Structure 1
Amino acid sequence: LLGYKDKSNFGKYTYKREGLLDKIPHLSPIRGVIIVRGKDYKKIFEFLKDKADIFSRRIILTGKDKKKLKV
């Protein structure tokens, strides 16, 4: 979901492995909470449906949050 840094050859080389959220604008106000645009919800849902409990809510965003999510 978040990606990670991968090391090979005894730490000589480092690679950034992208996660799903690297390509989706999102907010994470606290640990375990992800806020995404409505059109990106399905991608997150499909990824997490068998791995986590999912609770979905519609929320009202501030102007700053809208800019970050590119709404």
Structure 2
Amino acid sequence: MGIYTHVMKGTLIAFTVPTGKDRTRASAFVKSFYGQETSSHHGKYRYRRHGLMDEIPYNKLIRGVIIIQADDVRRVTEFLEQYSAEYHVRVVELTERDREVMELSVE
């Protein structure tokens, strides 16, 4: 008899945003996508700029590669399309680390 283990699926999105040497555009994308910790008055006031990924559980593997839940794929790809990003989407098996980072429980 085999042992049944619950396999959770996720979606891997690998993307690149064509910015060339336009650092302003690249910075705007990162702020809008991931959000940003920032401060004013020489560090006296600290706050967080909200980004799309603040609303979505994800695991960032390396630059331009994230794992999310299938329910969030459309929101992320539509956002990437606004920045003319090239992206690839694949269904993957979530690792224990992915589930921890994304705060998902095995049911």
CA distance in 2, matches of 1:6, 1:67: 26
- Tell which structure's C-alpha radius of gyration is larger: 2
In the superposition, the TM-score normalised over structure 1's length comes to: 0.78
Higher relative contact order (CA 8 A, sep 6+): 2
CA distance in 2, matches of 1:19, 1:3: 4
Identity, in percent, stands at 38
Map Cα deviations across residues 6-56 of structure 1 (whole Å, 9 max, x no partner). 444565433211111111100111111011100000110111013211100
Flag structure 1 segments of 5+ consecutive residues without an equivalent: none
Flag structure 2 segments of 5+ consecutive residues without an equivalent: 1-32
Q: Report the counterpart of residue 14 of structure 1 in structure 2.
A: 46
Q: Report the counterpart of residue 66 of structure 1 in structure 2.
A: 99
Closer, same or farther: CA 12–50 of 1 in aligned 2, 3 Å: same
In the superposition, the TM-score normalised over structure 2's length comes to: 0.55
Closer, same or farther: CA 63–14 of 1 in aligned 2, 3 Å: closer
Bigger proportion of residues as strand: 2
